């Protein structure tokens, strides 16, 4: 079973022109599920979702931003997938998906980790405890605000506690770290 997932730190969804750009990309990507981090939105997001994905069957779940910080939005086609929120935590949201025409169930956990290393370590505990809620295939995506290897960050040559923490999390959860395709880094100013 192949599932196409797009995970993207959008750095805010409050501006109409940014939503227009994202909408055009969504139309081209044709993914099954979209997980946007750092949405910076709270409250009723139905109009924002209509701006993003003009699909009458679109369904969603969200972890609201805290003020102007954070926020996660997961979108999917409700005609293809039944989505059920499994867990909403401080830095993550998990949703179980079941195919409507396929006998396939899987879970997606979207993460937006804080920049602070101590707070970020709480994320690993939070998501680890969420893992015990299901036995289905599991996808973890998001913005971890750290890298796994020094080569993944420009001008980084040493292994830090943050790097070790992410690597330990990936190994403890028996996750497979998919390699980046299409660029050298995931984020670059400008």
DSSP the chain: ----EEEEE-S-S--HHHHHHHHHHHHHH--SEEEEE-----S--HHHHHHH---TTEEEEEE--BTTB--EEEEEETTTEEEEEEEE-SSEEEEEEEESSSS-EEEEEEEE--SSHHHHHHHHHHHHHHHTT--S-EEEEEE-SS-SSGGGSTT--S--HHHHHHHHHHHHTT---PPP-SSS-S----
pTM of the model: 0.90
Q: What is the mean pLDDT of residues 24-46?
A: 93
| Gap between the Cα atoms of 157 and 150, Å rounded | 5
How many C-alpha atoms does 19 have within 13 Å on its Cβ side? 17
Residues 6+ apart with CB under 8 A from 110: 7, 35, 37, 63, 72, 74, 92, 93, 94, 95, 141, 142
Predicted confidence band of residue 35 (pLDDT cuts 50, 70, 90) = very high
Q: Provide the residue ranges of all domains of the chain, joining segments of one domain with +.
A: 5-145
Known binding-site positions for Mg(2+): 9, 38
Q: What are phi and psi of 161, to 5 degrees?
A: -65, -35
Q: Bigger pLDDT: 67 or 22?
A: 22
Residue with tokens 């750092």: 38
Predicted confidence band of residue 177 (pLDDT cuts 50, 70, 90) = confident
Structure token digits, residue 94: 């998990």
Domain covering 5-145: architecture: 4-Layer Sandwich (3.60)
Predicted confidence band of residue 126 (pLDDT cuts 50, 70, 90) = very high
Predicted confidence band of residue 166 (pLDDT cuts 50, 70, 90) = confident
Known binding-site positions: 9, 38
- pLDDT, residue 118, reads 85
């Amino acid at each position: 079973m192949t599932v196409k997932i797009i995970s993207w730190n959008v750095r805010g969804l409050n501006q109409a022109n940014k939503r227009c750009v994202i909408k055009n990309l969504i139309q081209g990507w044709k993914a099954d599920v979209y997980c946007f981090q750092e949405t910076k939105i709270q409250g009723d997001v139905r109009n924002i979702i209509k701006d993003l994905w003009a699909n009458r069957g679109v369904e969603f779940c969200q972890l609201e931003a805290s003020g102007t910080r954070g926020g996660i939005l997961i979108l999917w086609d409700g005609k293809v997938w039944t989505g059920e929120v499994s867990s909403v935590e401080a830095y993550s949201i998990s949703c179980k998906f079941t195919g409507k025409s396929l006998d396939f169930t899987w879970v997606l956990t979207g993460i937006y980790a804080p920049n602070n290393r101590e707070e970020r370590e709480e994320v690993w505990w939070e998501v680890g405890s969420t893992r015990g809620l299901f036995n289905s295939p599991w996808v973890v995506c998001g913005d971890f605000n750290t890298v796994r290897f020094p080569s993944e960050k420009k001008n980084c040559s040493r292994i830090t506690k943050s790097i070790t923490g992410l690597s330990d999390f990936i190994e403890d959860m028996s996750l497979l770290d998919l390699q980046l395709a299409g660029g050298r880094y995931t984020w670059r100013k400008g």
